[in-house]
Structure 1
Amino acid sequence: MKRRISDVLCAGIILGFALRPYRMSYREVKYFSFPGEVLMRMLQMLVLPLLVSSLITGMAALDSKASGKMGMRAVIYYMTTTIIAVFIGIIIVLIIHPGKGSKDEFGKQQTIEQVSPADAFLDLIRNMFPPNLVQACTQQFKTKYGRRKVHVTVTVNDTLFNSTNGTQEVMEITREEVIPVPGQVNGVNALGLVVFSMCFGLIIGNMKEQGQLLRDFFDSLNEAIMSLVAIIMW
């Protein structure tokens, strides 16, 4: 199988370089990329059931002490790698400025939304506990920012400017402030599903004989998903 994959990769590279002089249109390029797009869509289709079934099966097979340590390590690992990925992305963007000088830049200027590090960290914790598991399969929580007008009443004492007049004047000032509001973005909430799957697998493992039926179900589901992955890869 490894030899077949390497042969396909070599054939794709050779074909790509051979077709470059023909300056194919965007539509023609999309036709060539269609088989790869189908392959990626099939693999993405199995990510969610594979993630849930494998985690529940693995956690249910461990004892409670090992499961607690394993779950804590998994959460810490996920949060650490996420923070590292965010920092690397910010550094790379500041260095290479992707998209700068493209044709789209001259046609439309888009404003970049500034995200507070505190809000990003709180969103990470919120996504660990999704209120709706069905929604977590397609969306994740993300703090957005809105504007609201704040009316401030200021009392001005005229004695500061005119010593002969001691009257006071009340002024109302209106200003805008940016406030965080809850929002959703498209994408699988993997962190929330990981936390739920680990907790669910831990509970099934502690149920002993009563949870045997669920353990068998998720074992069979995991084996079926792995078989599908093998078929798609072939």
Structure 2
Amino acid sequence: MSAMAPVSPRAILASLALAVVAGLALTPETRWLGLAPHAALETIGGLFLDALFVLVVPLVFSALVSGIAGIGTGDGLGRLGLRTVAYYLASGTVAVFIALGAVNLVQPGLSGGAPVGDSLGLDAETAQVGQSLRAEGDEAWSLLDRLIPENIFAAASEGQLLGLIVFALVFGLAIGRLGEGAATLRTFWDESFAVMMRVTGWVLRLTPIGVFALVAMTVAETGVEAFASLAVFFATVVGALLLHGLVVLPLALWWTTGVDPRRHLRNLAPVLLTAFSTASSSGTLPLTLNRVEQGAGVSNRTSSVVLPLGATVNMDGTALYECAAVLFIAQAYGLDLGLAEQALVVVMALATSIGVAGVPAASLVAITLILTSLGLPLEGVGLLLAVDRLLDMTRTAVNVFSDATGAVILARWEGERPYSDGKAPAETGAGA
């Protein structure tokens, strides 16, 4: 496969800066010559996201089938799969405990020792909320329903990537077990993946335009006043996300592989900026695959398994945010969650972050599930809307960075040498 030129980080940064200026000069009600700039930005940003989303299903499916069919037997896949799951569980657990420590240390739901619920307009009485506090984790089991979809085409059209990934894994493994008789099938999926990467390159050239539209629209909607009442919570979550993304994950990369984290960050700069601006790990997946394979030199055999799976189940930033948000809302009501309740929040944040759709604001659904299970009023979710978009953008960047970092770590464990010469290794499978 011919290398696809990476998106220029400078172009994306310039788009971000111009978007902030434009967003501050606009509101959703602004009219220029009878036209609404906000509506135009919404349309352009929506088209860019649609162009990314339309790539996700065929790209993920072809990448998984191509990569796994090239393995030939289930032994290599089983080892890689177990290591991938172990990495995701470890990184997600660390992220949630960072949130737990940050919220308990800073206590953003309190001001001068008093709950901030009244000042934020929470209507429910603390005593009433306390009486309804309970632990019902049944919702976490709904994840199992997504593993085997009733209709693979319906799952694809509805963006249920988890079921699609399971089917692609089985399909690719079956092709690999057919041996030489499946050469035609392997060639077909290899070339299908190559075509999808080429189309992806065309779409990614539009990234600066999409970034400008999406960020300008966000700034126009929220402005800067929206952060006033939630500034401490906002700062706590951002600080926790940065700690995980800029300290924990780089240290894990350096300690396990010896790779310079600065080089890794430079390679992923276009990916992180795209993830931040789109707030979609699924939408960023095409670019992530490109930079991990072409920039880091990870084989398609590894990246085609680790990255699509990570875009669906590895949500470090999302799990961190869910835990912090639920604890913040409990503090705002004046509730003192005990060790058992906080442990439940940790478990449910991990469970519900798995399989959360990699699209903007999807984690609000998971937060609603956790609040319902704990018996906390759903009105608390309304508090998060003022700052959710920017926090969503930040946690998505952390999600994607964890996926890409995991791909490099797992590649090294599989005997590859990412970042050794900046080129893909000789044994890259179909994606080379």
Shorter chain as denominator, the TM-score bin is 0.5 to 0.7
Residue of structure 2 equivalent to 1:214: 185
1 or 2, which has the higher strand percentage?
1
Residue of structure 2 equivalent to 1:176: none
Q: Structure 1 residue 71 and structure 2 residue 75: aligned?
A: no
Cα separation, partners in 2 of 1:48 and 1:79, compared to 1, 3 Å: farther
Q: Structure 1 residue 190 and structure 2 residue 200: aligned?
A: no
CA RMSD, aligned part only? 3.6
1:24 to 30, 49, 52: 30
Residue of structure 2 equivalent to 1:200: 171
Query: What is the alpha-carbon distance in structure 1 between the residues aligned to residue 62 and residue 12 of structure 2?
Result: 27
TM-score of the two chains, using structure 2 as the length reference? 0.34
Cα separation, partners in 2 of 1:85 and 1:76, compared to 1, 3 Å: same
AA matched with 1:136: A
AA matched with 1:130: P
Residue of structure 1 equivalent to 2:71: 62
Which structure 1 residue ranges, 5 or more long, are not aligned?
Answer: 103-113, 140-187
Query: What is the alpha-carbon distance in structure 2 between the residues aligned to residue 194 and residue 83 of structure 1?
Result: 23
- Secondary structure, aligned partner of 1:19: coil
AA matched with 1:48: V
User: 1:39: Cα distance to partner?
Assistant: 0.5
Query: What is the alpha-carbon distance in structure 2 between the residues aligned to residue 213 and residue 79 of structure 1?
Result: 37
Query: What is the alpha-carbon distance in structure 2 between the residues aligned to residue 84 and residue 199 of structure 1?
Result: 31
Cα separation, partners in 2 of 1:115 and 1:219, compared to 1, 3 Å: farther
Contact 1:71/1:198, CA 8 A, preserved across alignment: no
1:230 to 186, 196, 201: 201
Contact 2:26/2:38, CA 8 A, preserved across alignment: no
Q: Structure 1 residue 127 and structure 2 residue 146: aligned?
A: yes
Query: How big is each residue's C-alpha offset from its partner over 1:83-121, in whole Å with a ceiling of 9 and x where there is no partner?
Result: 999998xxx9xx779xx759xxxxxxxxxxx9942x333
Which structure 2 residue ranges, 5 or more long, are not aligned?
Answer: 1-6, 110-116, 123-133, 206-432
AA matched with 2:176: G
Contact 2:29/2:36, CA 8 A, preserved across alignment: no
Contact 1:60/1:205, CA 8 A, preserved across alignment: yes
1:38 to 42, 47, 53: 47
Query: How big is each residue's C-alpha offset from its partner over 1:144-176, in whole Å with a ceiling of 9 and x where there is no partner?
Result: xxxxxxxxxxxxxxxxxxxxxxxxxxxxxxxxx
Contact 1:75/1:195, CA 8 A, preserved across alignment: no
- Aligned-residue identity in percent: 28
User: 1:17: Cα distance to partner?
Assistant: 2.2
AA matched with 2:48: L
AA matched with 1:134: F
Cα separation, partners in 2 of 1:116 and 1:47, compared to 1, 3 Å: farther
Pairing 1:84-99 to 2, within 5 Å after superposition: none
Residue of structure 1 equivalent to 2:155: 136
AA matched with 2:30: M
Query: How big is each residue's C-alpha offset from its partner over 1:40-69, in whole Å with a ceiling of 9 and x where there is no partner?
Result: 110001111111111111111224211122
Contact 2:66/2:190, CA 8 A, preserved across alignment: yes
Query: How big is each residue's C-alpha offset from its partner over 1:9-30, in whole Å with a ceiling of 9 and x where there is no partner?
Result: 222222222335x962695412
User: 1:70: Cα distance to partner?
Assistant: 2.2
- Secondary structure, aligned partner of 1:137: helix
Larger CA deviation: 200-209 vs 70-79: 70-79
Contact 2:148/2:163, CA 8 A, preserved across alignment: yes
Cα separation, partners in 2 of 1:44 and 1:79, compared to 1, 3 Å: farther
Contact 1:46/1:225, CA 8 A, preserved across alignment: yes
Cα separation, partners in 2 of 1:135 and 1:76, compared to 1, 3 Å: farther
Query: What is the alpha-carbon distance in structure 1 between the residues aligned to residue 200 and residue 58 of structure 2?
Result: 11
Residue of structure 1 equivalent to 2:18: 11
AA matched with 1:35: I
Query: What is the alpha-carbon distance in structure 2 between the residues aligned to residue 79 and residue 45 of structure 1?
Result: 29
Query: What is the alpha-carbon distance in structure 1 between the residues aligned to residue 54 and residue 165 of structure 2?
Result: 17
User: 1:33: Cα distance to partner?
Assistant: 2.4
